[in-house]
Structure 1
Amino acid sequence: MTYKHELVNYQSEFFNLHTSNTISQKSKQQHFQFISAHWHRSIEVIYVNQGTIEIVTNGSKILLEKESYYLINSNNIHSVTFINNPNSEMFILQIPLKTFQFVTNNSAVPIFLNDSSHPEYLAVIDILKSILETSTHQAPYSRAKIYSLFFYFTHQLLEHFFFSTETDLTYTNSQERIRLIIKFIEDNADNYLSATEVAEQFEISHEYLSRILKKNTNKNFRDLLKAIRLKTAFNLLVNSSNTITEIALDSGFPNVNSFIKAFKEKYSETPAAYRINHMS
């Protein structure tokens, strides 16, 4: 079975925070009820504020009830379903691997335990509740509080729930290959990169590369590369004061016009307009 790879776009340099409402808006469902099986490189923390959800990951089913959380490690396949109550509420904290690399000065992929019996589990719950409350009741300097809570949360994970580091997690051969291909494209997207070069790197044909990318990401090579570059550019746009031209070139776009065109296709406005309308 093939599972879709999610290319996570970050609106903050260190994390993303999604509530049930924002997920419903993104999926265009009035009451979000299901996220199909997928995987990504980010660490994901799912916290239930109300109701019950079912998480299926690596073949195991986990029922998550009110005021509890579950951590999805990097590259783990998972799906989420609300059980019975359509008014269940949760929030999802997505953390890119570069955040842990930043705070640990270690490039290895961290693996964390899910242990609700741990003495510090309830303390972590309190931090997550505070993050949710602060994010939904905006007040002066709430952004500073959210960031401080977030870094305290990462400290608690590393201090009490860290298991090991792995640079090569175990998957089926096909799943492992597509993971490595996508990582290679992400790592080299800021330079000139062709499908032929990627195919040669992994000793596969151009046609086979196109087929497995389409099957696993629903994108051809050109669209996937553009999406990765656009993700990098968006992060630079909202988290730096770089010029539009600098952002375009630093993200791997061949010129500023191709960046503006790609950005407008996705966000319905130019990068400059986005900065003015959403960040002033």
Structure 2
Amino acid sequence: MLYDCNLKIYNSLNVQSNFNFGIFLLFVLEGNVLISINGKRKLYEANDLILINDLDRYSIITEHNTLIASLYFSRPELDHLFHFEKRYCINTSNLDFSLLKSKIIKSISSYINKRNLEQRSFLEFSNEIAMILHTFRVADYNHFYFNYSEIMKDMINAINFMDENYKQKLCISKIARKILMNERRFSKEIKKFAGKKYQDLLKQLRLSHSTYDLIYTSKKLVHIATDNGFTNESGFIEAFKKIYKITPGKFRRQIKNDKHLAIHNRKTKLVKDLSKVSNIINKLVHGNLENVIMDINTKSVVKKPIVAPSFLMYITNVNTLTNHFQQSKLLALRRETGQFGLLFSHKIVNSMYLEKGERNKLIDQMFSFSLERQFEISFEIKFDSNKNDKNMIKKFEKFLIYLADCTYYYGNRNFKFYVDASIQEFMSISKIVHKYFKDTELILLLDKHNNYLASRMGHCINDSSVSYRMKYDTSFDKELTSIVNINPSLNILYQPKSPNKMDSLISIFNWSIQTDMKVIYIIDDSWLDSMIPSQTSALVIKEREQYANSQYQLLELLSMLMKLRGEVLFFNENVLITYYLYEFQILVMPNNKKSGIFHQRLNINQVNVEEIECRKRDLIIKSNQFAHQDEDTIYSNQSLNEVEIINNKDNLIVQFYSTADVIRHIYIKKKIN
């Protein structure tokens, strides 16, 4: 039996007996499957998920009309691609099977949609599944195998030793001595445990590693043979063909086009027509529906003001503010999202320290545009510790003089300086800045390396505030929450590394609502081109289209969040309701269960609104992935996009669907005739 390390869907699947190296997942789509694992037989039905663990013996028997999907992770894949670090066994007692099942359904849906492509990456469909398995892997084998007999523990240790040293010449006597057992008894026990002789087991291990090289590397066959313990190329080809009924070269060619049949027997057949599978997947998704009802009494709830986020455009390129086309994009972004500030990066600021920097026409043009359009202007200050401090301070003072001249022409303006420095450097910079700008605000920047300092200092130093910058992280941790509890006036800056970190932004926004903290998002100016669609978008090359989609999504999400106002009427991890005069805004987050669809019903009591009008806006995302709105079958049913509003006397009922991949914004207000 040869696993080609990809998702397969079978019309019937039959395996007499085999010993597993890695993790084998089976998902029954239709029919019944009789599976024996380590001698224990069980009949599985449709919608059942089966995990065959590492070093398990198993057999599979299916009926002719059965549909079953299989996904196999070999030991080399688990190590090299997903960093399992030679811990392959999964603790099934703690495994979240509902979450794993939802990911497999999603993978099958994606597999079907991309079925016609010439080449498809195995990782594209299976990365999230592997990450879930990684979370539940067994870290301590000694504890996990506590109830195993000593013989079984010895066999597991022997096989693991064989796997770690498969490239070497391994005779049976050497392995037997390793576990303090005589050769004859070891031969008997290994056959009893694995169901095959020692030489066959060793050959299976070596072929497993050679299969990985065939798929993921471009090595020649002779090198694959010698690298995986075979004496020569012909011996490797003969062993491969004898067991798998195909030559390694032909297998490598077929795997690229997904034409290789993983299991070779007459009773096993791959599905040719995937339309039936597609219908089953749609039913599984829609059948996994949960109803959630929430009653909200507007009179009894404790209201608090909404802390809406703001954002700064991080200027790293002078052309952003000097190119006419880029200027128009910047103004269009402000019309879309509202007022935002400009934060000049320390690289831009450092370039102004150069001699005669104030005379540079591009810099003059950049500042004239920023000041004329009344953007709030901030500077990131970061001195290079390797350079002469006195020389840097002199150049910094020249830059401040240039800013003072700008305020003469464009009126008195207050700048902000975000200083990334030690407290001593910060104090000296503050004195210099206040010589030229008395009312200018200076902010000391701290990061995760300064957690100890942030938790033990006040939120301001000599009337200057302190900010904490989160850079490239995916969410806020407990340590930061405890720091914020000590210093509630600490400003929070979040700077994502790439615009497709949608789940991170959502997580951080939820955290800010929960802790009443204002978060300032720092958005890179290099994303501006694709955040605002225009006629030139067609010129973007195909390789950047996916990235552009994620940047536009970032704009959509920021626009949603910045339009929130009024008081928080209700908040949990899935729903936020704000109220302002006769205006309700409902922000529905992706459900955290990530397994199917929620049907939610909000009963908002004690509300007296006669006639209402409603607008809704949906943003389809994928967690930390590029979005394809036409790709997922989950949203093919138009009814999932509908929002139903029932306006009874003193009671407003809002019904809608939420999934793991949609952010929904519902706007309800009193109708004015």
**TM-score in same-fold range (> 0.5):** yes
Aligned residues: 251
**Residues 176 and 183 in structure 2, CA contact (< 8 A), matched pair in contact too:** yes
CA distance in 2, matches of 1:263, 1:253: 11
User: Cα gap change, 1:201/1:155 in structure 2, threshold over 3 Å: closer, same or farther?
Assistant: closer
1:108 aligns to 2:87 (yes or no): yes
Name 1:148's counterpart in structure 2: 124
**Residues 91 and 132 in structure 1, CA contact (< 8 A), matched pair in contact too:** no
Letter in 2 for 1:90: I
Residue pairs, 1:1-280, within 5 angstroms: 9-11=2-4, 15-21=5-11, 23-24=13-14, 39-55=19-35, 57=37, 64-76=44-56, 78-82=58-62, 86-101=64-79, 102-104=81-83, 106-109=85-88, 110-112=90-92, 113-115=94-96, 120=99, 123-130=102-109, 133-134=112-113, 138-140=115-117, 143-144=120-121, 147-158=123-134, 162=136, 165-168=139-142, 169-170=144-145, 171-267=148-244, 271-272=248-249, 275=252
Query: Cα offset for 1:105?
Result: 5.9
**Residues 84 and 134 in structure 2, CA contact (< 8 A), matched pair in contact too:** no
**Residues 20 and 54 in structure 2, CA contact (< 8 A), matched pair in contact too:** yes
User: Cα gap change, 1:157/1:127 in structure 2, threshold over 3 Å: closer, same or farther?
Assistant: farther
User: Cα gap change, 1:177/1:18 in structure 2, threshold over 3 Å: closer, same or farther?
Assistant: farther
**Residues 11 and 66 in structure 2, CA contact (< 8 A), matched pair in contact too:** no
Report the secondary structure of 1:103's partner residue: coil
Greater mean alpha carbon deviation, residues 175-184 or residues 69-78 = 69-78
User: Cα gap change, 1:64/1:142 in structure 2, threshold over 3 Å: closer, same or farther?
Assistant: farther
Query: Cα offset for 1:19?
Result: 3.4
Higher relative contact order (CA 8 A, sep 6+): 1
Report the secondary structure of 1:149's partner residue: helix
Report the secondary structure of 2:91's partner residue: strand
**Residues 124 and 156 in structure 1, CA contact (< 8 A), matched pair in contact too:** no
CA distance in 2, matches of 1:156, 1:217: 27
User: Cα gap change, 1:277/1:76 in structure 2, threshold over 3 Å: closer, same or farther?
Assistant: closer
**Residues 111 and 165 in structure 1, CA contact (< 8 A), matched pair in contact too:** no
**Residues 54 and 81 in structure 1, CA contact (< 8 A), matched pair in contact too:** yes
Q: Is there any run of 5+ residues in structure 1 with no aligned partner, and where?
A: 1-7, 28-34
Query: Cα offset for 1:274?
Result: 5.1
Report the secondary structure of 1:225's partner residue: helix
Greater mean alpha carbon deviation, residues 63-72 or residues 51-60 = 51-60
**Residues 20 and 90 in structure 1, CA contact (< 8 A), matched pair in contact too:** yes
CA distance in 2, matches of 1:185, 1:260: 21
CA distance in 1, matches of 2:159, 2:206: 13
User: Cα gap change, 1:254/1:180 in structure 2, threshold over 3 Å: closer, same or farther?
Assistant: same
**Residues 42 and 75 in structure 1, CA contact (< 8 A), matched pair in contact too:** yes
CA distance in 1, matches of 2:173, 2:159: 14
User: Cα gap change, 1:22/1:176 in structure 2, threshold over 3 Å: closer, same or farther?
Assistant: farther
**Residues 111 and 166 in structure 1, CA contact (< 8 A), matched pair in contact too:** no
Report the secondary structure of 1:111's partner residue: coil
Greater mean alpha carbon deviation, residues 177-186 or residues 100-109 = 100-109
**Residues 131 and 150 in structure 1, CA contact (< 8 A), matched pair in contact too:** no
Percent identical pairs in the alignment equals 23
User: Cα gap change, 1:16/1:175 in structure 2, threshold over 3 Å: closer, same or farther?
Assistant: farther
**Residues 67 and 125 in structure 1, CA contact (< 8 A), matched pair in contact too:** no
Q: Is there any run of 5+ residues in structure 2 with no aligned partner, and where?
A: 258-673
CA distance in 1, matches of 2:28, 2:74: 21
**Which structure features the higher share of helix residues?**
1
Q: CA RMSD in A?
A: 3.6
**Residues 71 and 114 in structure 1, CA contact (< 8 A), matched pair in contact too:** no
Query: Cα offset for 1:251?
Result: 0.7
CA distance in 1, matches of 2:58, 2:106: 24
CA distance in 2, matches of 1:277, 1:123: 29
**Residues 115 and 121 in structure 1, CA contact (< 8 A), matched pair in contact too:** yes
CA distance in 1, matches of 2:254, 2:162: 31
Report the secondary structure of 2:176's partner residue: helix
**Residues 91 and 137 in structure 2, CA contact (< 8 A), matched pair in contact too:** yes
CA distance in 2, matches of 1:122, 1:273: 33
- TM normalised by structure 1 equals 0.70
User: Cα gap change, 1:164/1:209 in structure 2, threshold over 3 Å: closer, same or farther?
Assistant: closer
User: Cα gap change, 1:187/1:148 in structure 2, threshold over 3 Å: closer, same or farther?
Assistant: same
CA deviation map 1:25-51 (0-9, x unaligned):
xx5xxxxxxx55x65242222211112
Report the secondary structure of 1:48's partner residue: strand
Query: Cα offset for 1:142?
Result: 6.0
Letter in 2 for 1:199: A
CA distance in 1, matches of 2:39, 2:196: 26
Report the secondary structure of 2:169's partner residue: coil
Greater mean alpha carbon deviation, residues 41-50 or residues 94-103 = 94-103
CA deviation map 1:66-97 (0-9, x unaligned):
23423333335555454xx6412112222234
Query: Cα offset for 1:223?
Result: 3.5
Greater mean alpha carbon deviation, residues 255-264 or residues 45-54 = 255-264
CA deviation map 1:184-206 (0-9, x unaligned):
22221211221221121122222
